[in-house]
Amino acid sequence: MREISRESNTLELIASENFVSYPVLEMAGGVMTNKYAEGYPGARYYGGCEHVDEAENLARERAKKLFNCEYANVQPHSGSQANMAALMTFVNVGDTIMGLDLAHGGHLTHGSPVNFSGKLYNVVSYHVSKDTGRVNFDEVQKLAKEHKPKLIICGGSAYPRFIEFEQFHEIASENGAYLMADIAHPAGLVATGIHPSPMSYCDVITTTTHKTLRGPRGGMIMLGKDVENPWNIKAPKSGRIKMVSELLNSMVMPGIQGGPLMHIIAAKAVAFGEALKPEFNSYAQQIVNNAKAMANKLLTRDYKLVSGGTDTHVILIDLTNKGVSGKAAENALERAGITVNKNMVPFDQRSPFITSGIRVGTPAITTRGMAENEMNQIVDKIDQVISDIDNDITINRVKMEVKSLCESFPLYRELHD
C-alpha cells in the first residue's frame, strides 16, 4: 500500500514510466504467472499450454495490427532483451555496430562499454550537434563510410525529437548496413501515427511495451516485412531456416530466454487491445500536447532545453545556467513530490552520477487526465523548487500543493475501494 500511496500522491514525470489500466494490472498479477510455456504457441515444451497459447496469439495479432507489421515476438522480458536478441540475430560477436552515444541520448544497449552491446561488438558511436541537439547526420555518414558497420541503431532514451528513420535508412543502404530501430520511448506515438513509423525503413524494430504504449513492463521485436534468411543459417536438426522471423524466434528462445512470462504476455494483449481503441489516439496526442506545453512554459522561465523543445513526450533540461546539478534537482524535486530522473546532456561536463540535466516526460500524468493547464502549474512548481533548492519551507509547501493536485486526478480507485 505504501507504493500505491506514493504513486497516488506524487507527480510521476519520469519519461520511461506510466500507469497501466486496472485490467492490465489485474492480468499482470493473474494466474498465468503459474504457467511455464517454453517454446511458442502450438510448439511448447510443456503440456497444459492451450490457454496461454491463446493469450500469446492474441498479443501477437494485436501487435501486428497496431503497428501494421508482418511479425511480432512478444516474449522478450524487457527492451534490453529484445535488443539483445535482435543484435545477436543480425550481427556476429566482434562485428561493428553504430549507435547514439549514451551521453547524447542513446541507450545502454546501443553500445555502452558497460553493457553486453559494448562488450560483444565493436562499437562506433555517433552524436548530436552541439548547436541543434539533433543527430549530426554529417557525422553519421562519415562514420558509416569509414567504419562500414554491419548494423546501425537509431532511436534513444533521451532524444526529444522524432527519430529520423528515412535519413538513417539512406545512410544504412549506401553503406551496406542493416538498420535497427529502437522505438521503446515513442512506441505509443508510433502506433497512433503521431510519430513516423519505422516499418518501411528498418530491417528490425524493437520496443518496450510500457512507456507511451501504456502496457506492462516488457519487450517486443517486430519486422515490418518478413524476408527470407539472407545468411543461409541452418538449424541443428530441422535444416535451413527459411525466414528472418524464424531466426529471431530461435534467438529469443532458446537463444537468450527460457520460459516466457505468460502473465505479462497476457497483460500485453490487454494493453494492445486498449491501444487499438480510438480513445488511445486522443490520449497519445494529449501526451505530446502536454509535453509541448510544458516545454514552452519552461522556456519562458529561462530553462535551456536540449534541441530547443520536443516533438514527443520527452523533455531534456540542461540546468547548467541555473547553477544546479541534475542530482541535486532530482533529490529536491522528489522531496517535493515530483519524480524526475537526473540525466546527462550532450557534451556534459559532469559525471553520469551527478549530471547537468534532468529528463522529464508526460505519459504518466497524461494517463491521470492532466492537460495543458496542469502542465503550467507543474512547471511553476518545478521552478519554485529549483530556484529555492535549499529551502525546506518552499519544498514542503510545494509538496502539499502537489498532493492537492494529485487528489484532483485520482489513480486506481479500485485499489482504494
Per DSSP bridges, beta strands 357-361 and 341-343 are antiparallel
Q: What is the CA radius of gyration of the chain?
A: 22
Is 38 an active-site residue? yes
CA 189 from centre of chain: 11
Sign of CA dihedral 208, 174, 145, 227: positive
Report the candidate in 275, 260, 214 with the shortest Cα–Cα distance to residue 25.
Answer: 214
Q: How far is CA 71 from the centre of its chain?
A: 20
Instruction: State the catalytic residue, choosing from 182, 203, 311, 374.
Output: 182
Respond yes or no: is residue 121 known to be catalytic.
no
Q: Is 3 helix (H, G, I), strand (E, B) or coil?
A: helix
> Is 211 in the active site?
yes
Is 145 a residue of the active site?
Answer: no
- Which is catalytic among the residues 44, 134, 150, 217? 217
Give the SS3 label for residue 50: helix
Q: Which of 96, 192, 208, 362 is catalytic?
A: 208
CB atoms within 10 A of CB 95: 14
* 103's grid cell: 551521453
Look at phi and psi of residue 42 and say left if phi exceeds 0, alpha if psi is from -120 to 50, else beta: left
Check whether the bond before 198 is cis (ω within 30° of 0): no
Separation CA 97–CA 354 (nearest Å): 29
Helix (H, G, I), strand (E, B) or coil at 140: helix
Choose the catalytic residue: 60, 150, 211, 214.
211
> 122-126 and 151-154: which strand pairing?
unpaired
Please pick, among 17, 26, 36, 139, the residue that the annotation labels catalytic: 36
Q: Copy the grid coordinates of residue 369.
A: 487526465
Count of beta carbons in the 10 Å neighbourhood of residue 372: 15
Supply the DSSP symbol for 342: E
Residue 217 annotated as catalytic: yes
* Residue 254 DSSP SS3: helix
Q: Are 206 and 71 in contact (CB under 8 A)?
A: no
Grid cell for residue 195: 510519430
**Which single residue is written with the C-alpha cell 508510433?**
190
Expressed in angstroms, the distance from the first to the final Cα of the chain is 13
Reported as type and span, the H/E element at residue 119 is helix 116-120
Q: Which residues are annotated as catalytic?
A: 36, 38, 182, 208, 211, 217
